[in-house]
Structure 1
Amino acid sequence: MNQPTTTQGDILAYLDRVISKREQSAQEARDGGEGRWHSGWREDYFACPDDKPEEGETIGSGVSDERDRTVVYDEGRPSKAQSIHIALNDPESVLRRCAADRKMIGLMATETSETGGQPLASRLLRQLAEGYGWTEGAL
Structure 2
Amino acid sequence: MSETKPKELLDQAIRDMAGAFSVRLCTIGVELGIFKDLHQNGRSTSEQIATRMGLNERYLREWLYGIVLSGYLEFDITTREAWLSPQQEQVLVQEGGRFAQFGTFKLLNSALLPYEKLLSVFRAGGGVGFEDYPPALWEALDHTGCSC
Higher relative contact order (CA 8 A, sep 6+): 1
If the length of structure 1 is used for normalisation, what is the TM-score? Answer: 0.30
* Bigger proportion of residues as helix: 2
Larger Rg belongs to: 1
TM-score normalised over the length of structure 2: 0.29
